[in-house]
Structure 1
Amino acid sequence: MSLDDIPLPPGAAREGGPTTNWSALFHAYGTATDTAEVLAGPLEAAGDHLWSAILHQGSVWPATPPVLSSVAGRLAEAPLLGLRFVRDVASSVRFGDGAEELRAEVAAAPTREWTAAYVAADEDEQVDLWSDDDGTGDLVLAAAALDCWDLLPELVDPVAAFLDDPDERVRTCAWATVTRLLDHPAAAAAHGPHLLPRLTRAAGAAGSVEERAALVMDLGDLGGDPAAFLADPSPLVRCAAATTRPLADDPAAHAELLAAARTPTAFDALSDLPRFGGGPARWTLVAVLCDRVRDLSRLHEPALAALPHAFRLAPCPDLGPYLKAHFPTGLPEHPTPEQASLARELAARDDLWSPVNGNRRITLAQLGLPVDRETWWAVG
């Protein structure tokens, strides 16, 4: 294989069509020849390949740019799947002002030679290439990410075609996707001036609580003003508005976050929205609340409400932020009433102290907190 066979950047072959030389590209599991077969079939059947090989745990690969372009051109076949894939890729390549510096570093590295060696190697040799890598392999992946980044402005129009889809789920996903695409300065400059007012109107006219909440959060992501939605009849919409960046210092938004966090699973009614990636929406609520409100007298009741959900993952997104807020430097010798109360309530829950619960040990250790129950009893 010659270097001329390797489309880095994909350029004319990035549409993912018959001109793409898939044997000169690779994904998370090796050379991308199987990708051609997947794309030749129905898009709705490609999900496993897209989120395992092409976008692997949030990482993009040399095969990702032509696949991204191909999926964007086929959105009508499977709108929800296609829009989510475009959004997830866009979320993985958010460079901002750092793109040009990285581009110069990529241009100075032997990325084409490294890629040629990689796609020509067998599986064991490919492992060795990564093991012996001097950083060139990482720059190959960076080049792929930059190719995806450069594609984002071109994808706004195909995605925007679904903003008025009759299916609410498709509309919601399309707005979430276009919001991520507008992270690219060129996309924002070209499309932001007309999409932001359109999003504001759509949020005000949305019929369901779920769609309204989703659009309000998208509005905040685009720098719009979601303050009016703090008066929405739905507590879910009020809380959604309160999580947005423009309201980070708003006392009324803080009050909504605190009220919602006292019954955190209620916010999980929004968990199916694309922005939460399949995780419970309450994790976003907890993270935002603990980032913005530092007064333990106000955080304490929400922290106690999180205890029934603690240590199901590590690090624990339900309780971990509260523990960090209450005990930023470890367990204190002279605890405040809030610290003593949380320690006592944590120690009192038998369900959190199973000897086989590794999530508890990992979470506490990462926070610099003791992993034995007796120490927590002593504080409380």
Structure 2
Amino acid sequence: MSETYDWDRLFHAYAVATDTPTHLEALVAADETAFSTAMEHLYSAVLHQGTIYPAATPAVAAVAQAVSFWIGAADRKTASARLPALVDFLDAAGDSLTLAGQLLASEGEAVPPSAEEERKFFETLASDDEEESEEAWESPVAGVLMTHAIPALRQQADPVMEGLLQVMGSDAIAHKAGAVSALAHWNCNSTAPYQHRAAAALRSFANSATVRDDRAAAVLALGTVGADVSGWLADADPAIRACAALCLPRSGEAAKELVRALTQPEEVDQWFERRPSSFPMHVRFTLLNSLLQRETSFAAILPAAVAIVQLSSPYTADNDWGPLLRAAFPEVEFVPGEYPPVPENIGAPQRQFLAALVANERLWGTNVGNAGLALMRVGLPYDRQAIAVLLKDGTGDD
């Protein structure tokens, strides 16, 4: 799997990647402990905290080959145990590639280092002297080589897609949500034939799957690859309807579906046994963020806003009730370091939302800075009684 690469000229998060080939060989070996150690190496060193290092290209290629190997292996028990881990790594690598590609587009291309500069970099990085080795990371060569690793990894898209499509057509893995998500992440980097095959496979799977997690992942993936998912707005399952709505940012019916879902935020957060990767935290956070990006009045989302704030805590200020406050008072201009005045002419929807905030005892009496900032951004004090008095005094127009 690794014989075609010069590992003395590749590195991961910790050092020159000469230790990586042994781990890649373990992906198709019988030793379970070695396989687990290999997966740990892939995440901790090769894709450390989602960063793409030059060693990622051959590592991803090897993982894609390992997927194909286990799809065709006679040992179905081992295959079914290992494939989910391999597929999840491809999903994570595809997600990192998407984010890194966006960063690369904003920064532009980096000038390649000279052969001498590159030689000195790897010589220093491989030094037995720890201080000298650390100096290598301060070299601009490290950043340039990492930048070049992004388009190099893109070149693995078709082989990765081939392995994932084999997973989609196989019964070797029970739940395919990881493969579905990975297909969506790698799709934009693949060639047209693979894009067409992926869309067809995803649609077929979405129509045939019976497990909610799998169906949701398929609908989300279809939306990501640009397919029409509007038909799923009429699905019997509210989770599937909401997933379709996420992919339809200009649909008024989709916005209404998100509001309907968010009136039951606690239920929403329990929808999935294995959350699709589109939901990195609580499901309600993602649905709400999508809803607030749309041209929808605060009055229209009020039922969801009130329901969400009843579930909120000071620690969720950045993700639910804080963004809702900004949506309630969009006219307030916040300048860091300045406290804006209390909003004037507070309308009925805003008053109902503030009343729900006051009623939630968990939000008050803490020293959570982000909670205070959420209120300060719209000119309100982090003082429960003061806001209650503001409402009691009837300030504003109803």
TM over 0.5: yes
Structure 1 residues 138 and 155: alpha-carbon distance in aligned structure 2, compared to 1, 3 A threshold: same
Query: Which of 35, 39, 46 is 1:47 aligned to?
Result: 39
1:30 aligns with 2:15: yes
Tell which structure's C-alpha radius of gyration is larger.
2
State the match for 1:91 in structure 2: 95
Structure 2 gaps of 5+ residues are 27-33, 71-78, 335-341, 392-398
Q: Give 3-state SS (helix, strand or coil) of 1:107's partner.
A: coil
Given that residues 259 and 301 in structure 2 are in contact (C-alpha distance below 8 angstroms), is that contact kept between their aligned partners in structure 1? yes
Structure 1 residues 364 and 60: alpha-carbon distance in aligned structure 2, compared to 1, 3 A threshold: farther
TM norm structure 2: 0.77
Structure 1 residues 343 and 201: alpha-carbon distance in aligned structure 2, compared to 1, 3 A threshold: same
Structure 1 residues 337 and 179: alpha-carbon distance in aligned structure 2, compared to 1, 3 A threshold: same
Q: Give 3-state SS (helix, strand or coil) of 1:147's partner.
A: helix
Give how far 1:379 is off. 4.7
Paired with 1:115 and 1:250, the residues of 2 have a C-alpha distance of: 52
Give how far 1:50 is off. 2.5
Alignment of 1:66-215 (within 5 A): 66-75=58-67, 76=70, 77=79, 78-94=82-98, 104-107=109-112, 112-113=118-119, 115-116=121-122, 118-121=124-127, 122-130=129-137, 135-166=140-171, 169-184=174-189, 187-215=190-218
Give how far 1:259 is off. 0.2
State the match for 1:9 in structure 2: none
Give how far 1:23 is off. 4.8
1:230 aligns with 2:200: no
Given that residues 162 and 170 in structure 1 are in contact (C-alpha distance below 8 angstroms), is that contact kept between their aligned partners in structure 2? no
TM norm structure 1: 0.81
State the match for 1:296 in structure 2: 298
Paired with 1:118 and 1:306, the residues of 2 have a C-alpha distance of: 54
Letter paired with 2:289:
A
Letter paired with 2:13:
A
Of 346-355 and 147-156, deviating more is: 346-355
Counting aligned pairs with the same residue, the percent is 25
Give how far 1:30 is off. 3.4
Structure 1 residues 291 and 97: alpha-carbon distance in aligned structure 2, compared to 1, 3 A threshold: closer
Given that residues 315 and 363 in structure 1 are in contact (C-alpha distance below 8 angstroms), is that contact kept between their aligned partners in structure 2? yes
Structure 1 residues 129 and 119: alpha-carbon distance in aligned structure 2, compared to 1, 3 A threshold: closer
Paired with 1:93 and 1:175, the residues of 2 have a C-alpha distance of: 16
Q: Deviations over 1:152-195 (max 9, x none)?
A: 122111111000232675422222211211111xx241212233
State the match for 1:320 in structure 2: 322
Paired with 2:356 and 2:131, the residues of 1 have a C-alpha distance of: 52
Structure 1 residues 97 and 36: alpha-carbon distance in aligned structure 2, compared to 1, 3 A threshold: closer
Give how far 1:19 is off. 5.5
State the match for 1:281 in structure 2: 283
Give how far 1:228 is off. 1.2
Structure 1 residues 106 and 43: alpha-carbon distance in aligned structure 2, compared to 1, 3 A threshold: farther
Given that residues 64 and 159 in structure 2 are in contact (C-alpha distance below 8 angstroms), is that contact kept between their aligned partners in structure 1? no
Letter paired with 2:188:
D
Q: Deviations over 1:16-65 (max 9, x none)?
A: x2564545433223343443444344434433332222222221112222
Q: Deviations over 1:289-322 (max 9, x none)?
A: 1112431001222122222443465663233332
1:56 aligns with 2:55: no
Paired with 1:344 and 1:163, the residues of 2 have a C-alpha distance of: 50
Name the Cα RMSD after superposition.
3.2
1:338 aligns with 2:338: no
Given that residues 83 and 173 in structure 1 are in contact (C-alpha distance below 8 angstroms), is that contact kept between their aligned partners in structure 2? yes
Given that residues 213 and 274 in structure 2 are in contact (C-alpha distance below 8 angstroms), is that contact kept between their aligned partners in structure 1? no
State the match for 2:394 in structure 1: none
Given that residues 118 and 126 in structure 1 are in contact (C-alpha distance below 8 angstroms), is that contact kept between their aligned partners in structure 2? yes
Paired with 2:251 and 2:106, the residues of 1 have a C-alpha distance of: 36
Structure 1 residues 315 and 28: alpha-carbon distance in aligned structure 2, compared to 1, 3 A threshold: farther
Paired with 2:132 and 2:224, the residues of 1 have a C-alpha distance of: 44
Q: Give 3-state SS (helix, strand or coil) of 1:26's partner.
A: coil
Q: Give 3-state SS (helix, strand or coil) of 2:110's partner.
A: helix
State the match for 2:254 in structure 1: 253
State the match for 2:31 in structure 1: none
Letter paired with 1:30:
A
Give how far 1:226 is off. 1.0
Query: Which of 346, 350, 357 is 2:361 aligned to?
Result: 350
Paired with 2:387 and 2:40, the residues of 1 have a C-alpha distance of: 44
Structure 1 residues 368 and 48: alpha-carbon distance in aligned structure 2, compared to 1, 3 A threshold: farther
Structure 1 residues 349 and 251: alpha-carbon distance in aligned structure 2, compared to 1, 3 A threshold: same
Q: Deviations over 1:139-160 (max 9, x none)?
A: 2221122221222122111111
1:217 aligns with 2:228: no
